[in-house]
Amino acid sequence: MRFRMVRRNALALLFVTFVIGTLLFSTRVLVVSDSETINSNSFKDSHVSQSDEMLKLNFASPSELADSVLNADYQQFVLNADRFPGDPQLVLVVQVHNRPEYLRLLIKSLESAAEVHGFLVIFSHDYFTEEINSIVQGITFCKVIQIYFPFSTQLFPNSFPGPDPKDCPRDTPKEEALRSGCLNAAHPDSYGHYREPAITQTKHHWWWKMHFVWERVGAMQGYHGFAVFLEEDHYVLPDFYHHYKAMADYHAASCPDCDVLALGNHKVPDAGFSSLSNQLLTTSWMSAKHNMGLAVSREVYYKLMGCNEEFCTYDDYNWDWTLQHLSGTCISRPLKVLAALGSRVLHTGDCGLHQKEQCRPEWAGQKVEETLQRVKDGLFPGSLVLSAAEAVEPQPHVKNGGWGDLRDHTLCKNYARRL
């Protein structure tokens, strides 16, 4: 009986692996044959010269939506390319789910940011609605590209990577799951829980986005600066670019061994902001401190992709805690961060993955206005100074689980592979 069950699980895993491979092949996300590869400059020009008319998604059915998502990822229309020609001065990458009120607030902050006309903002979506598309496509102040996570649970409502009716319920004891024969019975996480699609999606999306932005977005070819990673419930201060540029210059001149920049932190700016506004810190990268406004270079992207196996198999559903685990393990020298003590990124969201009740996005705008009044005298500092240099060493943590399913491991690893 046990042999038959093991054999059935093995066959199921082989089937899932085959399905994932087929999906990845069909998306063209990971497969670019030599005959299809074109000169990077001509690829870039063909996309940047597109008109302002963006592709529309087809919401008639999940399969038609999936087709239009793949088409949009292939076409990569650049909104406002004719208005703002030339290479971007800064690339921002925004991970978007389904909080349009916060997304509007982020876009408002970008519109108010100095020198925004030189930005390229890439919005990476894992939930697709006409409302969200309309919000993004209403931007007129800089170049915009939308990319769409092709393995969104929305596109797979009854099968992996969405919720499969044959999957094991989260809290089913393993022995009971094995007796029942549910699909992933042999692979709970470190705490005995089975996968939750909504929980796993964020890490999937972040890793896919990291690969797709640096490898597949035509407008990024030839770009040698940092890409700053934000989320839909972030808000940038008016001197965001000014501070980024000063930090990048400091990195080049005085901290070439710094791996990443952190333009934001989780300390809410208060009356003491002016005294911190021009101060920097070098230290070890830590998830709880440096995951807002994370600026990554192409060189560090390649370093992270060298840890593809470890990232995709580490049992933590959080991308940032997984990154902290890699720092000092797979990445032999811990990631060194150059961090702004006066945060240029605010966290506006009070409703997200872990908080579902008492969400009041209408309060966020009021809090932002109050913060802007407090910090206005400390913006646009003349120069930056290093206030402290902490030891750079591994920062261990207890993994959070939620990432034990071998199907998640396989799908994740394949984002960075050319099959």
Q: Express each pLDDT in 95-137 by its tens digit.
A: 999 999 999 999 999 999 999 999 999 999 999 999 999 999 9
Q: Indicate the number of domains in the chain.
A: 1
pLDDT tier at 54 (50, 70, 90 boundaries)? Answer: low
Looking only at the bridges linking them, the beta strands covering 345-347 and 234-236 are antiparallel
Q: Which one has a higher pLDDT value, 353 or 171?
A: 171
pTM: 0.87
pLDDT at residue 351 tops 70: no
Domain membership flag for residue 24: no
Digit-coded pLDDT (tens) for 154-182: 999 999 999 999 999 999 999 999 999 99
**For the chain, percent of residues with pLDDT exceeding 90:** 80
Domain membership flag for residue 182: no
Domain membership flag for residue 63: yes
Give the integer Cα–Cα distance in Å for 384 and 253.
Answer: 12
Give the integer Cα–Cα distance in Å for 3 and 319.
Answer: 36
Domain membership flag for residue 178: no
Domain membership flag for residue 191: no
What are 45's two structure tokens? 């020009």
Backbone angles phi, psi at 315, to 5 degrees: -80, 70
Give the integer Cα–Cα distance in Å for 343 and 273.
Answer: 9
**Radius of gyration, alpha carbons of the chain:** 22
Domain membership flag for residue 161: no
Give the integer Cα–Cα distance in Å for 415 and 312.
Answer: 10
Report the sign of the C-alpha dihedral through residues 363, 368, 371, 372, in that order.
negative
pLDDT at residue 146 tops 80: yes
For residue 240, the domain's CATH number is 3.90.550.10
pLDDT tier at 358 (50, 70, 90 boundaries)? Answer: low
Q: Which domain, by its residues, includes 328?
A: 40-154+197-414
H-run or E-run covering 235: strand 234-236
Q: Which one has a higher pLDDT value, 54 or 119?
A: 119
Domain membership flag for residue 364: yes
Domain membership flag for residue 192: no
Q: Averaging pLDDT over each range in 18-22, 34-38, 54-58, 197-201, which range is the top one? A: 197-201
State the angle between helix axes of 2-27 and 62-75 in degrees (0 to 180), rounded to the nearest 10. 50
Please state, in angstroms and as integers, the Cα–Cα distance from residue 157 to each residue in 12, 206, 211, following that order.
19, 20, 25
